[in-house]
């Protein structure tokens, strides 16, 4: 995936983004333009998002259980929506 920097118009290949912890236990994942150092946000995760992800993971494992499969898929999808809405809120708040 190639990215064009909005600031210096340098085109670069997107490598693995960096993750750092910012205030209130929020994990910020971003990448940096190698030419001018401009930082671009990918996403933010707070404690709530990370807990939701763990919960989703548990339901995803349950999808292997034939008796629970349908319910587990519904639950995992529902939690995924919560995660997305939470991450969207964080991005709107933090930029």
- Nearer to Zn ion by C-beta: 35 or 58? 35
**5 lines the binding site for Zn ion (CB under 5 A):** yes
In this complex, which beta carbon is closest to Zn ion, that of residue 5 or of residue 26?
Answer: 5
Dihedral class, residue 37 (left if φ above 0, else alpha if ψ from -120 to 50, else beta) = left
Distance of CA 74 to the CA centre of its chain: 21
- For Zn ion, the binding residue among 4, 7, 61, 81 (CB under 5 A) is 7
First-to-final CA distance of the chain: 22
Pair of tokens at residue 42: 């990918």
Query: 76 and 52 in contact (C-beta within 8 Å)?
Result: no
Stretch that binds Zn ion, among 1-9, 58-66, 67-75, 80-88 (CB under 5 A): 1-9
Report in angstroms how near the CB of residue 11 gets to Zn ion at its nearest.
9
Residues that bind Zn ion (CB under 5 A): 5, 7-8, 10, 33, 35-36, 38
């Amino acid at each position: 995936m190639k990215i064009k920097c909005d600031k210096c118009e340098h085109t670069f290949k997107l490598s693995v983004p960096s993750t750092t912890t910012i205030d209130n236990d929020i994990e910020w994942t971003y990448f940096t333009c190698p030419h001018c150092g401009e930082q671009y946000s990918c996403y933010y995760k707070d404690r709530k998002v990370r807990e939701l992800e763990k919960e989703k993971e548990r339901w995803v494992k349950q999808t292997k259980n034939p008796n629970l499969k349908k319910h587990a898929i519904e639950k995992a999808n529902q939690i995924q929506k919560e995660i997305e809405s939470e991450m969207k809120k964080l991005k709107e708040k933090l930029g």
